[in-house]
Protein backbone atom coordinates (compact mmCIF):
# COMPACT_ATOMS: atom_id res chain seq x y z
CA UNK A 1 0.00 0.00 0.00
CA UNK A 2 1.38 3.40 -0.87
CA UNK A 3 1.42 5.66 2.09
CA UNK A 4 0.75 9.33 1.57
CA UNK A 5 1.27 11.72 4.42
CA UNK A 6 -1.97 13.65 4.74
CA UNK A 7 -2.26 17.35 3.97
CA UNK A 8 -4.81 19.46 5.79
CA UNK A 9 -5.69 22.54 7.74
CA UNK A 10 -6.92 21.34 11.14
CA UNK A 11 -9.27 23.70 12.92
CA UNK A 12 -9.53 22.93 16.64
CA UNK A 13 -12.47 24.47 18.53
CA UNK A 14 -11.66 24.47 22.24
CA UNK A 15 -7.96 25.03 21.53
CA UNK A 16 -7.14 26.28 25.02
CA UNK A 17 -8.91 23.40 26.76
CA UNK A 18 -7.63 20.44 28.66
CA UNK A 19 -8.20 17.86 25.91
CA UNK A 20 -6.34 19.92 23.34
CA UNK A 21 -3.36 20.51 25.61
CA UNK A 22 -3.17 17.06 27.15
CA UNK A 23 -4.01 14.89 24.17
CA UNK A 24 -4.31 16.62 20.81
CA UNK A 25 -1.11 18.65 20.63
CA UNK A 26 1.09 15.82 21.95
CA UNK A 27 -0.58 13.43 19.48
CA UNK A 28 -0.01 15.77 16.54
CA UNK A 29 3.58 16.12 17.69
CA UNK A 30 4.09 12.35 17.75
CA UNK A 31 2.63 12.03 14.25
CA UNK A 32 4.95 14.80 13.09
CA UNK A 33 7.97 13.25 14.76
CA UNK A 34 7.15 9.80 13.36
CA UNK A 35 6.86 11.14 9.83
CA UNK A 36 3.09 10.59 9.66
CA UNK A 37 2.45 14.28 9.07
CA UNK A 38 4.25 16.09 6.32
CA UNK A 39 5.15 19.76 6.44
CA UNK A 40 1.86 20.35 4.62
CA UNK A 41 -0.32 20.93 7.62
CA UNK A 42 -1.47 23.87 9.67
CA UNK A 43 -3.51 24.04 12.84
CA UNK A 44 -5.83 26.90 13.70
CA UNK A 45 -6.66 27.04 17.37
CA UNK A 46 -10.08 28.52 17.96
CA UNK A 47 -11.32 29.59 21.39
CA UNK A 48 -12.87 32.53 23.22
CA UNK A 49 -9.79 33.69 25.06
CA UNK A 50 -7.86 36.59 23.48
CA UNK A 51 -4.43 34.97 23.08
CA UNK A 52 -1.69 36.07 20.72
CA UNK A 53 -0.11 33.64 18.30
CA UNK A 54 2.98 33.72 20.44
CA UNK A 55 1.08 32.80 23.62
CA UNK A 56 -0.61 29.98 21.76
CA UNK A 57 2.64 28.62 20.38
CA UNK A 58 4.13 28.77 23.87
CA UNK A 59 1.21 26.63 25.08
CA UNK A 60 1.88 24.16 22.30
CA UNK A 61 5.55 23.97 23.20
CA UNK A 62 4.63 23.43 26.84
CA UNK A 63 2.31 20.59 25.94
CA UNK A 64 5.13 18.76 24.13
CA UNK A 65 7.88 19.60 26.64
CA UNK A 66 8.09 16.04 27.95
CA UNK A 67 9.29 14.72 24.56
CA UNK A 68 12.46 16.73 24.44
CA UNK A 69 13.42 15.12 21.12
CA UNK A 70 16.87 16.26 19.91
CA UNK A 71 15.90 15.79 16.22
CA UNK A 72 12.92 18.09 16.31
CA UNK A 73 13.00 21.78 16.92
CA UNK A 74 9.84 22.62 18.92
CA UNK A 75 9.71 26.02 17.20
CA UNK A 76 9.46 24.35 13.79
CA UNK A 77 6.57 22.26 15.00
CA UNK A 78 4.88 25.20 16.74
CA UNK A 79 5.22 27.36 13.62
CA UNK A 80 2.39 25.29 12.09
CA UNK A 81 0.00 26.56 14.78
CA UNK A 82 -2.05 29.75 14.59
CA UNK A 83 -4.51 31.21 17.02
CA UNK A 84 -7.89 32.67 16.18
CA UNK A 85 -9.93 34.25 19.02
CA UNK A 86 -13.52 33.37 18.27
CA UNK A 87 -17.10 33.96 19.27
CA UNK A 88 -19.17 31.00 18.06
CA UNK A 89 -22.30 33.19 17.79
CA UNK A 90 -20.70 35.87 15.60
CA UNK A 91 -21.10 35.12 11.88
CA UNK A 92 -18.38 37.56 10.85
CA UNK A 93 -15.92 35.41 12.79
CA UNK A 94 -16.74 32.45 10.54
CA UNK A 95 -16.12 34.55 7.45
CA UNK A 96 -12.74 35.67 8.78
CA UNK A 97 -11.93 32.09 9.75
CA UNK A 98 -12.75 30.95 6.22
CA UNK A 99 -10.41 33.53 4.72
CA UNK A 100 -7.69 32.52 7.16
CA UNK A 101 -8.06 28.83 6.30
CA UNK A 102 -7.74 29.70 2.60
CA UNK A 103 -4.61 31.69 3.32
CA UNK A 104 -3.01 28.81 5.25
CA UNK A 105 -4.16 26.33 2.64
CA UNK A 106 -2.19 28.23 0.04
CA UNK A 107 0.83 28.74 2.27
CA UNK A 108 1.07 25.09 3.41
CA UNK A 109 -0.26 23.58 0.16
CA UNK A 110 -2.92 21.51 1.89
CA UNK A 111 -5.02 20.80 -1.23
CA UNK A 112 -8.12 22.47 0.21
CA UNK A 113 -8.56 19.75 2.89
CA UNK A 114 -10.19 20.76 6.17
CA UNK A 115 -10.54 18.87 9.42
CA UNK A 116 -12.76 20.47 12.07
CA UNK A 117 -12.21 19.17 15.57
CA UNK A 118 -14.80 20.08 18.22
CA UNK A 119 -12.80 19.60 21.41
CA UNK A 120 -15.29 21.29 23.71
CA UNK A 121 -18.58 20.83 25.55
CA UNK A 122 -21.31 19.84 23.09
CA UNK A 123 -23.73 22.70 23.87
CA UNK A 124 -22.40 24.65 20.90
CA UNK A 125 -21.93 21.83 18.38
CA UNK A 126 -25.22 22.65 16.67
CA UNK A 127 -24.53 26.39 16.45
CA UNK A 128 -21.02 25.81 15.15
CA UNK A 129 -22.10 23.27 12.53
CA UNK A 130 -24.92 25.51 11.29
CA UNK A 131 -22.71 28.59 11.11
CA UNK A 132 -19.85 26.77 9.41
CA UNK A 133 -22.26 25.75 6.70
CA UNK A 134 -24.18 29.01 6.33
CA UNK A 135 -20.94 31.01 6.07
CA UNK A 136 -19.49 28.66 3.46
CA UNK A 137 -16.65 27.36 5.65
CA UNK A 138 -17.49 23.76 4.74
CA UNK A 139 -17.69 24.62 1.08
CA UNK A 140 -14.08 23.84 0.27
CA UNK A 141 -12.37 22.18 -2.66
CA UNK A 142 -10.70 19.24 -0.87
CA UNK A 143 -12.14 16.85 1.72
CA UNK A 144 -14.01 18.07 4.81
CA UNK A 145 -14.16 16.04 8.00
CA UNK A 146 -15.51 16.64 11.49
CA UNK A 147 -14.29 15.03 14.70
CA UNK A 148 -16.51 15.22 17.74
CA UNK A 149 -16.00 14.09 21.28
CA UNK A 150 -18.37 12.49 23.73
CA UNK A 151 -20.73 12.97 25.42
CA UNK A 152 -22.81 12.43 22.32
CA UNK A 153 -26.13 13.35 23.91
CA UNK A 154 -27.51 12.48 27.31
CA UNK A 155 -30.02 9.91 26.05
CA UNK A 156 -31.40 8.79 22.69
CA UNK A 157 -33.55 11.87 22.23
CA UNK A 158 -30.81 14.43 22.87
CA UNK A 159 -28.31 12.39 20.85
CA UNK A 160 -30.73 12.46 17.94
CA UNK A 161 -31.21 16.22 18.23
CA UNK A 162 -27.46 16.71 18.29
CA UNK A 163 -27.02 14.41 15.34
CA UNK A 164 -29.67 16.24 13.31
CA UNK A 165 -27.92 19.54 13.99
CA UNK A 166 -24.58 18.19 12.88
CA UNK A 167 -26.01 16.38 9.88
CA UNK A 168 -27.34 19.72 8.70
CA UNK A 169 -23.76 20.63 7.81
CA UNK A 170 -21.91 17.29 7.50
CA UNK A 171 -22.77 13.94 5.94
CA UNK A 172 -22.50 10.78 8.02
CA UNK A 173 -19.33 9.76 6.20
CA UNK A 174 -17.72 13.10 7.08
CA UNK A 175 -18.42 12.68 10.81
CA UNK A 176 -15.83 10.97 12.99
CA UNK A 177 -17.24 10.33 16.49
CA UNK A 178 -14.45 9.61 18.91
CA UNK A 179 -14.50 6.76 21.37
CA UNK A 180 -10.92 6.80 22.58
CA UNK A 181 -11.13 3.12 23.61
CA UNK A 182 -11.25 2.25 19.91
CA UNK A 183 -7.84 3.87 19.51
CA UNK A 184 -6.22 1.72 22.20
CA UNK A 185 -3.78 -0.77 20.83
CA UNK A 186 -4.99 -3.69 22.92
CA UNK A 187 -8.63 -3.01 22.15
CA UNK A 188 -7.77 -3.06 18.44
CA UNK A 189 -6.05 -6.34 19.22
CA UNK A 190 -9.40 -8.01 20.00
CA UNK A 191 -10.13 -8.14 16.32
CA UNK A 192 -6.65 -9.34 15.34
CA UNK A 193 -6.51 -12.05 18.01
CA UNK A 194 -9.91 -13.28 16.91
CA UNK A 195 -9.55 -13.13 13.15
CA UNK A 196 -5.87 -13.88 12.64
CA UNK A 197 -5.71 -17.09 14.70
CA UNK A 198 -7.10 -20.43 13.60
CA UNK A 199 -7.04 -21.41 17.25
CA UNK A 200 -9.72 -19.09 18.56
CA UNK A 201 -12.36 -18.48 15.93
CA UNK A 202 -13.73 -22.07 15.94
CA UNK A 203 -14.14 -21.85 19.74
CA UNK A 204 -15.54 -18.33 19.80
CA UNK A 205 -19.16 -19.21 20.54
CA UNK A 206 -21.61 -20.61 23.08
CA UNK A 207 -20.38 -24.19 22.58
CA UNK A 208 -17.02 -23.43 24.14
CA UNK A 209 -17.18 -20.09 25.94
CA UNK A 210 -18.70 -19.94 29.39
CA UNK A 211 -18.73 -16.17 29.89
CA UNK A 212 -16.85 -13.01 28.96
CA UNK A 213 -15.83 -10.34 31.44
CA UNK A 214 -14.93 -6.77 30.57
CA UNK A 215 -13.54 -4.53 33.29
CA UNK A 216 -12.56 -0.89 33.22
CA UNK A 217 -11.87 0.20 36.77
CA UNK A 218 -10.27 3.39 38.01
CA UNK A 219 -8.74 4.44 41.31
CA UNK A 220 -9.44 8.12 40.76
CA UNK A 221 -12.69 9.68 41.89
CA UNK A 222 -14.55 12.34 39.94
CA UNK A 223 -11.84 14.89 40.78
CA UNK A 224 -12.70 18.26 39.19
CA UNK A 225 -15.46 16.90 36.95
CA UNK A 226 -18.18 16.65 39.59
CA UNK A 227 -20.58 18.96 37.82
CA UNK A 228 -20.48 17.02 34.54
CA UNK A 229 -20.31 13.63 36.18
CA UNK A 230 -23.23 14.13 38.53
CA UNK A 231 -25.46 14.63 35.48
CA UNK A 232 -23.93 11.68 33.72
CA UNK A 233 -22.90 8.79 35.99
CA UNK A 234 -20.96 5.66 35.07
CA UNK A 235 -23.72 4.25 32.88
CA UNK A 236 -23.66 7.17 30.45
CA UNK A 237 -20.01 8.07 30.93
CA UNK A 238 -18.58 4.57 30.32
CA UNK A 239 -21.14 1.85 29.59
CA UNK A 240 -23.09 3.50 26.76
CA UNK A 241 -19.87 4.02 24.81
CA UNK A 242 -16.58 2.35 25.78
CA UNK A 243 -17.98 -0.79 27.40
CA UNK A 244 -20.58 -1.51 24.72
CA UNK A 245 -17.97 -0.89 22.03
CA UNK A 246 -15.74 -3.55 23.58
CA UNK A 247 -18.68 -5.96 23.82
CA UNK A 248 -19.44 -5.38 20.12
CA UNK A 249 -15.86 -6.12 19.11
CA UNK A 250 -15.84 -9.30 21.17
CA UNK A 251 -19.18 -10.53 19.89
CA UNK A 252 -19.26 -9.45 16.24
CA UNK A 253 -19.18 -11.89 13.33
CA UNK A 254 -16.06 -11.83 11.17
CA UNK A 255 -16.52 -9.00 8.66
CA UNK A 256 -16.49 -9.87 4.95
CA UNK A 257 -13.55 -7.50 4.52
CA UNK A 258 -11.53 -5.28 6.79
CA UNK A 259 -13.14 -2.08 5.70
CA UNK A 260 -15.01 0.45 7.84
CA UNK A 261 -18.47 -0.33 6.47
CA UNK A 262 -18.19 -4.09 6.85
CA UNK A 263 -16.77 -3.88 10.36
CA UNK A 264 -19.25 -1.32 11.58
CA UNK A 265 -22.11 -3.29 10.04
CA UNK A 266 -21.13 -6.34 12.11
CA UNK A 267 -20.82 -4.27 15.29
CA UNK A 268 -24.25 -2.76 14.69
CA UNK A 269 -25.70 -6.26 14.39
CA UNK A 270 -24.42 -7.10 17.88
CA UNK A 271 -26.12 -4.05 19.36
CA UNK A 272 -29.31 -5.04 17.58
CA UNK A 273 -29.10 -8.51 19.09
CA UNK A 274 -28.78 -7.39 22.71
CA UNK A 275 -31.50 -9.12 24.66
CA UNK A 276 -34.23 -6.63 25.37
CA UNK A 277 -34.97 -5.97 28.99
CA UNK A 278 -37.79 -3.99 30.48
CA UNK A 279 -37.61 -1.52 33.33
CA UNK A 280 -38.93 -4.04 35.88
CA UNK A 281 -36.17 -6.53 35.11
CA UNK A 282 -33.28 -4.09 35.28
CA UNK A 283 -32.13 -5.35 38.70
CA UNK A 284 -31.53 -8.82 37.31
CA UNK A 285 -29.03 -7.47 34.81
CA UNK A 286 -27.61 -4.24 36.21
CA UNK A 287 -26.06 -3.24 39.52
CA UNK A 288 -25.23 0.33 40.48
CA UNK A 289 -22.90 1.64 43.12
CA UNK A 290 -21.59 4.89 44.52
CA UNK A 291 -18.35 5.25 46.42
CA UNK A 292 -18.11 6.20 50.06
CA UNK A 293 -15.07 7.50 51.91
CA UNK A 294 -12.09 5.20 52.08
CA UNK A 295 -8.37 4.93 51.83
CA UNK A 296 -5.99 4.20 48.95
CA UNK A 297 -2.26 3.87 49.69
CA UNK A 298 -2.73 5.30 53.14
CA UNK A 299 -4.46 8.41 51.79
CA UNK A 300 -7.87 9.31 53.20
CA UNK A 301 -10.43 9.90 50.49
CA UNK A 302 -13.73 11.69 50.51
CA UNK A 303 -17.07 10.21 49.49
CA UNK A 304 -18.55 10.92 46.06
CA UNK A 305 -21.29 13.03 47.66
CA UNK A 306 -18.62 15.22 49.23
CA UNK A 307 -16.98 16.12 45.89
CA UNK A 308 -17.10 19.55 44.31
CA UNK A 309 -20.08 20.10 42.06
CA UNK A 310 -21.89 16.99 43.35
CA UNK A 311 -25.31 17.04 45.00
CA UNK A 312 -24.81 16.01 48.68
CA UNK A 313 -27.78 13.67 48.25
CA UNK A 314 -26.81 12.50 44.78
CA UNK A 315 -28.43 9.40 43.26
CA UNK A 316 -25.72 9.19 40.56
CA UNK A 317 -23.85 5.91 40.17
CA UNK A 318 -20.05 5.81 40.07
CA UNK A 319 -20.02 2.04 39.50
CA UNK A 320 -21.96 -0.22 37.18
CA UNK A 321 -21.86 -3.98 36.77
CA UNK A 322 -23.95 -5.43 34.00
CA UNK A 323 -24.85 -8.71 32.40
CA UNK A 324 -25.50 -8.40 28.67
CA UNK A 325 -27.08 -11.31 26.86
CA UNK A 326 -26.81 -11.46 23.10
CA UNK A 327 -29.72 -13.19 21.45
CA UNK A 328 -28.18 -14.77 18.41
CA UNK A 329 -27.03 -18.25 17.41
CA UNK A 330 -23.42 -17.63 18.34
CA UNK A 331 -23.99 -16.18 21.80
CA UNK A 332 -27.35 -17.31 23.20
CA UNK A 333 -26.77 -18.30 26.83
CA UNK A 334 -23.32 -16.69 27.25
CA UNK A 335 -23.27 -13.76 29.68
CA UNK A 336 -21.09 -10.79 28.81
CA UNK A 337 -20.33 -9.28 32.20
CA UNK A 338 -19.17 -5.72 32.28
CA UNK A 339 -18.03 -3.62 35.23
CA UNK A 340 -16.71 -0.13 35.50
CA UNK A 341 -16.24 2.18 38.42
CA UNK A 342 -14.36 5.01 39.99
CA UNK A 343 -12.37 4.72 43.23
CA UNK A 344 -11.90 1.01 42.89
CA UNK A 345 -8.95 -1.04 44.11
CA UNK A 346 -6.96 -0.81 40.90
CA UNK A 347 -6.80 1.02 37.58
CA UNK A 348 -7.33 -1.76 35.10
CA UNK A 349 -8.76 -2.31 31.62
CA UNK A 350 -9.06 -6.00 30.96
CA UNK A 351 -11.04 -8.56 29.06
CA UNK A 352 -11.31 -12.16 30.23
CA UNK A 353 -12.71 -14.87 28.00
CA UNK A 354 -13.53 -17.87 30.14
CA UNK A 355 -13.85 -21.16 28.29
CA UNK A 356 -16.19 -23.90 29.44
CA UNK A 357 -15.06 -26.54 31.90
CA UNK A 358 -13.95 -29.93 30.64
CA UNK A 359 -16.61 -32.65 30.92
CA UNK A 360 -14.53 -34.52 33.54
CA UNK A 361 -11.41 -33.91 35.59
CA UNK A 362 -9.06 -36.89 35.24
CA UNK A 363 -6.75 -35.44 37.86
CA UNK A 364 -9.32 -35.07 40.59
CA UNK A 365 -8.26 -38.12 42.58
CA UNK A 366 -4.81 -36.65 42.89
CA UNK A 367 -6.42 -33.63 44.45
CA UNK A 368 -5.72 -31.35 41.52
CA UNK A 369 -8.36 -29.00 40.30
CA UNK A 370 -8.44 -28.07 36.67
CA UNK A 371 -8.84 -24.37 36.20
CA UNK A 372 -10.84 -23.17 33.23
CA UNK A 373 -8.85 -21.92 30.26
CA UNK A 374 -8.83 -18.16 30.09
CA UNK A 375 -7.75 -15.80 27.39
CA UNK A 376 -6.97 -12.43 28.93
CA UNK A 377 -6.47 -9.27 26.92
CA UNK A 378 -5.16 -6.49 29.10
CA UNK A 379 -4.92 -2.88 27.98
CA UNK A 380 -4.01 -1.46 31.37
CA UNK A 381 -1.81 -1.39 33.47
CA UNK A 382 0.23 -3.56 31.09
CA UNK A 383 -0.46 -4.32 27.49
CA UNK A 384 -0.58 -8.09 27.60
CA UNK A 385 -2.28 -11.11 26.16
CA UNK A 386 -2.28 -14.11 28.47
CA UNK A 387 -3.49 -17.62 27.88
CA UNK A 388 -4.20 -19.66 31.02
CA UNK A 389 -3.79 -23.40 30.49
CA UNK A 390 -3.12 -26.48 32.59
CA UNK A 391 0.14 -28.43 32.30
CA UNK A 392 2.09 -31.11 34.10
CA UNK A 393 3.51 -30.36 37.50
CA UNK A 394 7.27 -30.65 37.77
CA UNK A 395 7.43 -33.86 39.82
CA UNK A 396 7.42 -37.69 39.32
CA UNK A 397 3.72 -38.01 39.10
CA UNK A 398 1.32 -37.09 36.31
CA UNK A 399 -0.48 -34.27 37.98
CA UNK A 400 -1.59 -30.92 36.71
CA UNK A 401 -1.11 -27.29 37.57
CA UNK A 402 -2.26 -24.04 36.03
CA UNK A 403 0.27 -22.27 33.82
CA UNK A 404 0.17 -19.04 31.84
CA UNK A 405 1.60 -18.22 28.44
CA UNK A 406 1.89 -14.57 27.74
CA UNK A 407 2.75 -11.88 25.27
CA UNK A 408 3.83 -8.65 26.91
CA UNK A 409 3.98 -5.71 24.55
CA UNK A 410 6.74 -3.98 26.47
CA UNK A 411 9.15 -6.84 25.71
CA UNK A 412 8.16 -7.05 22.05
CA UNK A 413 10.42 -5.75 19.30
CA UNK A 414 7.77 -3.38 17.99
CA UNK A 415 6.98 -2.15 21.46
CA UNK A 416 6.02 1.40 20.44
CA UNK A 417 2.40 1.89 21.33
CA UNK A 418 0.89 5.01 19.86
CA UNK A 419 -1.50 6.96 22.06
CA UNK A 420 -5.18 6.38 21.31
CA UNK A 421 -5.61 9.97 20.10
CA UNK A 422 -2.56 9.70 17.90
CA UNK A 423 -4.01 6.63 16.17
CA UNK A 424 -7.43 8.18 15.77
CA UNK A 425 -6.16 11.50 14.42
CA UNK A 426 -4.02 9.61 11.94
CA UNK A 427 -6.98 7.45 10.87
CA UNK A 428 -9.20 10.47 10.39
CA UNK A 429 -6.57 12.33 8.37
CA UNK A 430 -6.49 9.27 6.10
CA UNK A 431 -10.27 9.05 5.89
CA UNK A 432 -10.44 5.72 7.74
CA UNK A 433 -13.55 5.68 9.92
CA UNK A 434 -13.24 2.07 11.15
CA UNK A 435 -12.39 3.06 14.71
CA UNK A 436 -14.99 5.78 15.00
CA UNK A 437 -18.57 5.33 16.04
CA UNK A 438 -21.34 5.29 13.46
CA UNK A 439 -24.62 7.03 14.24
CA UNK A 440 -26.47 3.69 14.21
CA UNK A 441 -24.21 2.46 17.01
CA UNK A 442 -24.83 5.60 19.04
CA UNK A 443 -28.59 5.33 18.51
CA UNK A 444 -28.85 1.64 19.40
CA UNK A 445 -26.68 1.90 22.49
CA UNK A 446 -28.61 4.90 23.80
CA UNK A 447 -31.94 3.16 23.25
CA UNK A 448 -30.72 0.25 25.35
CA UNK A 449 -29.13 2.39 28.06
CA UNK A 450 -32.19 4.66 28.35
CA UNK A 451 -34.20 1.74 29.72
CA UNK A 452 -31.71 1.33 32.55
CA UNK A 453 -31.34 5.01 33.34
CA UNK A 454 -35.11 5.51 33.34
CA UNK A 455 -35.49 2.67 35.81
CA UNK A 456 -32.76 4.08 38.04
CA UNK A 457 -33.85 7.68 37.90
CA UNK A 458 -37.30 6.86 39.20
CA UNK A 459 -35.91 4.84 42.07
CA UNK A 460 -33.51 6.12 44.71
CA UNK A 461 -30.63 3.81 45.52
CA UNK A 462 -29.21 3.07 48.97
CA UNK A 463 -26.01 5.02 48.27
CA UNK A 464 -23.16 5.12 49.12
CA UNK A 465 -22.71 1.36 48.93
CA UNK A 466 -19.00 0.72 48.43
CA UNK A 467 -15.89 1.92 50.15
CA UNK A 468 -13.31 3.82 48.10
CA UNK A 469 -10.42 1.56 47.18
CA UNK A 470 -12.45 -1.67 47.00
CA UNK A 471 -13.88 -3.80 44.18
CA UNK A 472 -17.32 -2.20 44.26
CA UNK A 473 -20.56 -3.23 45.96
CA UNK A 474 -21.28 -6.83 46.95
CA UNK A 475 -24.21 -6.94 44.56
CA UNK A 476 -21.67 -6.65 41.70
CA UNK A 477 -20.26 -10.04 42.75
CA UNK A 478 -23.67 -11.55 43.33
CA UNK A 479 -24.67 -10.71 39.77
CA UNK A 480 -22.16 -13.32 38.59
CA UNK A 481 -22.62 -15.62 41.57
CA UNK A 482 -26.23 -16.15 40.53
CA UNK A 483 -24.92 -17.97 37.43
CA UNK A 484 -22.13 -19.81 39.27
CA UNK A 485 -19.50 -17.37 37.95
CA UNK A 486 -17.15 -14.96 39.66
CA UNK A 487 -15.05 -12.01 38.56
CA UNK A 488 -11.48 -12.89 37.77
CA UNK A 489 -9.27 -10.85 40.07
CA UNK A 490 -8.73 -7.14 39.71
With contact defined as beta carbons under 8 Å apart, do 158 and 240 qualify?
no
Nearer to ligand BG6, 95 or 219 (CB): 219
- To ligand BG6, the closest distance from the beta carbon of 408 in angstroms equals 19
> Cα–Cα distance between 287 and 340 in angstroms, integer?
11
Q: How many CB atoms lie within 10 A of CB 75?
A: 10
- To ligand BG6, the closest distance from the beta carbon of 119 in angstroms equals 13
Site string for ligand BG6, 345-374 (x = CB under 6 A): ----x-------------------------
- On the question of a cis peptide bond just before residue 244, with omega within 30 degrees of 0, the verdict is no
- To ligand BG6, the closest distance from the beta carbon of 220 in angstroms equals 7
Nearer to ligand BG6, 182 or 209 (CB): 182
Range 201-220, binding ligand BG6 (CB under 6 A): 216, 218
- To ligand BG6, the closest distance from the beta carbon of 464 in angstroms equals 18
Judged by CB under 6 A, the number of residues near ligand BG6 is 4
Q: Which of 80, 180, 242, 388 is catalytic?
A: 242
Nearest CA among 413, 424, 442 for reference residue 159:
442
Nearer to ligand BG6, 206 or 219 (CB): 219
- To ligand BG6, the closest distance from the beta carbon of 368 in angstroms equals 37
- To ligand BG6, the closest distance from the beta carbon of 490 in angstroms equals 14
Nearer to ligand BG6, 316 or 349 (CB): 349
Nearer to ligand BG6, 226 or 294 (CB): 226
- To ligand BG6, the closest distance from the beta carbon of 151 in angstroms equals 8
Name, in order, each residue with C-beta under 8 angstroms of 220's C-beta and a sequence gap of 6 or more.
Answer: 342, 343, 347
**Which ranges of 254-394 would DSSP assign to H, the alpha helix?**
260-273, 282-285
Range 150-209, binding ligand BG6 (CB under 6 A): none
> Cα–Cα distance between 239 and 245 in angstroms, integer?
9
* Using rule CB under 6 A, residue 383 touches ligand BG6: no
Q: Which residue is nearest to ligand BG6 (CB)?
A: 237
Residue 242 among the catalytic residues: yes
- On the question of a cis peptide bond just before residue 144, with omega within 30 degrees of 0, the verdict is no
- CA dihedral for 454, 457, 459, 463, sign (positive or negative): positive
CA distances from residue 240 to 4, 233, 350, 463 in whole angstroms, order as listed: 35, 11, 17, 22
> Cα–Cα distance between 143 and 308 in angstroms, integer?
43
With contact defined as beta carbons under 8 Å apart, do 148 and 118 qualify?
yes
- On the question of a cis peptide bond just before residue 133, with omega within 30 degrees of 0, the verdict is no
- CA dihedral for 201, 240, 148, 119, sign (positive or negative): negative
Nearer to ligand BG6, 218 or 422 (CB): 218
Using CB atoms within 10 A of its CB, is residue 484 exposed (0-12), middle (13-18) or buried (19+)? Answer: exposed
Helical packing angle, 439-457 and 156-167, nearest 10°: 150
> Cα–Cα distance between 298 and 294 in angstroms, integer?
9
Q: How many residues does the chain have?
A: 490
Range 227-266, binding ligand BG6 (CB under 6 A): 237
- To ligand BG6, the closest distance from the beta carbon of 65 in angstroms equals 22
The residues that are catalytic are 242
Q: For binding to ligand BG6 (CB under 6 A), which residues are involved?
A: 216, 218, 237, 349
Amino acid sequence: MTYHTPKAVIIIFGATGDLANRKLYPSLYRLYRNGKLSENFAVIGVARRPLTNEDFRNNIKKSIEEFNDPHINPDDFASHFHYNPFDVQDLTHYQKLNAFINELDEKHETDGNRLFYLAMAPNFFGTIAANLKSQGVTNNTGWTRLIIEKPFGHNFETAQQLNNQIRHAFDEDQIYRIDHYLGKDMIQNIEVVRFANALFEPLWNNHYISNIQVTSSETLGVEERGRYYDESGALRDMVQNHMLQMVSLLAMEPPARLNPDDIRYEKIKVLRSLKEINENDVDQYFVRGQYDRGEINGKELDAYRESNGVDPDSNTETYVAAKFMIDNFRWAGVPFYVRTGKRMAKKSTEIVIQFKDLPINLYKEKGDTIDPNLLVIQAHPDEKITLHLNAKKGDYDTTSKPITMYYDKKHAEDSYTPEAYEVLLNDCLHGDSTNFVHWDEVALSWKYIDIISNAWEGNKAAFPNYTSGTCGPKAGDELLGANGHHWWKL
